[in-house]
Amino acid sequence: MAHVSAREVTAAAAPKDHRPGGRRRGWSGAWGVGFAAPHALGLALFTLVPIGIALAMSLHDWPMIGSPSWIGFENYRQLISDPAFRTALTNTLLFVVLYVPLNLVVSLGMAAWLSPKIRHRQIFRVIFFLPTVTPIVANAVVWRMLYQPNGAIDATAQSFFGIKLPDFLADPHWAMIAIVIMSVWQGFGYNMIVFSSALDSVPESQLEAASLDGANAWTVFWRIKLPLISPSLFFATTMTLITSFQVFIQPYIMTRGGPGDSTVTLVQFIYNQGFTFQKLGLASAAAWVLFVIILGVTAVQFLGQKKWVHYE
């Protein structure tokens, strides 16, 4: 099972040369540059250049119309002192803290359940993957209807259990939780497929050895399977963390950030500042803060992986 790891990176830095002929035969310089060039140029123009532009913009007062003016770190200072930004930051962190573990538990659980023993499991896999291929906009709209007072969820609870549920999206305590639940439903399919294929590639011999030792299914899962798939767990956790910081569409469609500011996320803050309030500089500064946070979190992930990720 492949993974991004420090070791992979070093492996790339010093690739094993399979050939006895050594350097001269292995060196395919122009070809390598040529093959990598289209991708590298595109990436440079459309990702690296914009990152640089963003940094420059964040140091300017950059209106949508008119010319920018240099203001140094003023945008950053303004962000720090803006309670709306702090709220967006805490909301995003809250989303991440709730969403990532829930996503991993559900996707891992479903992947384990859909073991090769299940007949027609590919049908189930497609079913659980369906929400992921549906446009998030469409999903968000459906869930908005489900969450409404007297909507499908509330009405079901009333007729089966006789309880009136809160107005999820209009209640500041529930709105974010409602968005998290919808997001997990929408997004766990990716990780489920990753874990599913990782679990499939656990060698049969190891499992047999364990069951001969009298370990039950639970122990086998925790002690044998989980460590063996830890590289893909690590990969999935990292990617899910990164993407969860980008949450935008769900609140944009379901709550517009409300009630109050309880579901305004960082990306919505960036969008509002940039495209509604037309402060491109401030929006870029917020984007850089988001970038640095993600880099930090990812770095912690990489440092922490030694403790629990086992490579064969």
Partner 1 sequence: MRVRTVAVATTAVGALLLTGCSGGQSSGSSDTLSWSMWIGSSEDQKVWEGVGNTGAEASGKKVSLQGSPFNDYWTKISTQLGTSAAPCIVTMQSLRVNQFSEGLLPLDDLIKSTGFDTAAFDEGAMKALAVDGKQYAIPYDTGPLLLFYNKDAFAKAGVDAPKPGWTVNDFETAATALKKNGQVALATTVEDIFLEGTILSTGGAKMIDDSGKVSLDDPKTAQAIEWIAGLVKDGTATKADGADASADDNAFINGTAAATVGGPWNSLDFKAKAKFDVGVTTIPSPQGEQKTYSAGSGFGISKTCSDPTAAFKAITAMTSEKTLTSLAKDGRAFPARTAAQAAWYENAGIDGAKETLDSALASAVPLPGSSDGDKLNQMLSQYGPQMVNGEKPAAGVLAEISRQIGK
Partner 2 sequence: MSDVVSRGRGVRNLRTAIGYTLLILVALLFMSPLIFMIGTSLKAPSEIFSTPPSLFGSSLQWGNYAEVFSYAPFARYLVNGIVVAAGGTLITLAVSALSGYAFSRLRWRGRSATFMVFLATMMLPQEVIIVPAFVLMRELGWVNTYQALIVPWAFTALGAFLLRQFFITVPQELEDASRIDGLGQLGTFFRIMLPLARPSLAVLAVFTFITYWNSFLWPLVIVNDVTTLGTIPLGLQQFFGQQGTQWHLIMAASVISMLPSTVLLIALQRYLVRGIVTSGLGGR
Residue 221 binding partner 2, by CB under 8 A: no
Q: Which among 248, 285, 240 is positioned nearest to 265, based on CA atoms?
A: 248
Site for partner 2 in 61-90 (CB under 8 A): none
Quote the least distance from Cβ 73 to partner 2, whole Å. 18
Q: Taking CB within 5 to 8 Å according to partner kind, which of partner 1, partner 2, none is near residue 97?
A: none
Q: Which among 266, 201, 242 is positioned nearest to 100, based on CA atoms?
A: 242
Quote the least distance from Cβ 272 to partner 1, whole Å. 6
Residue 201 binding partner 2, by CB under 8 A: yes
Which range touches partner 2 (CB under 8 A), out of 85-93, 130-138, 165-173, 221-229? 130-138
Q: Which among 273, 282, 266, 252 is positioned nearest to 141, based on CA atoms?
A: 252
Q: Taking CB within 5 to 8 Å according to partner kind, which of partner 2, partner 1, none is near residue 217?
A: none
Q: Cis link prior to 259 (omega < 30° from 0)? A: yes
Token look-up 């384990």 returns: 112
Q: Taking CB within 5 to 8 Å according to partner kind, which of partner 2, partner 1, none is near residue 66?
A: partner 1
Quote the least distance from Cβ 19 to partner 2, whole Å. 7
Site for partner 1 in 238-277 (CB under 8 A): 253-261, 264, 272, 275-277
Q: Applying CB under 8 A, which of residues 80, 105, 126, 157 lies at the interface with partner 2?
A: 126
Is residue 265 classed as helix, strand or coil in its secondary structure? coil
**DSSP string of 29-58, one letter each residue:** HHHHHHHHHHHHHHHIIIIIHHHHHHHHHH
How far apart, in whole angstroms, are the C-alpha atoms of residue 208 and residue 226? 16
Give the contact letters, 268-307, x = binds to partner 2 (CB under 8 A), - = no. --xx--xx----x--xx--xx-xx--xx--x---------
Token look-up 């709220």 returns: 87
Task: Give burial (CB, 10 Å; 0-12/13-18/19+) of 173.
Answer: exposed
User: How many chain residues bind partner 2 (CB under 8 A)?
Assistant: 107
Quote the least distance from Cβ 255 to partner 1, whole Å. 5
Residue 39 binding partner 2, by CB under 8 A: yes
How far apart, in whole angstroms, are the C-alpha atoms of residue 103 and residue 109? 10
Smaller CB separation from partner 2, 44 or 172: 44
CA contacts within 13 A on the Cβ side of 134 = 20
Neighbours of 84 (CB within 10 A): 14
Q: Taking CB within 5 to 8 Å according to partner kind, which of partner 2, partner 1, none is near residue 242?
A: partner 2
Footprint on this chain of partner 1 (rule: CB under 8 A): 30-31, 34-35, 37-38, 41-42, 45, 64-66, 84, 144, 149, 167, 169-170, 253-261, 264, 272, 275-278
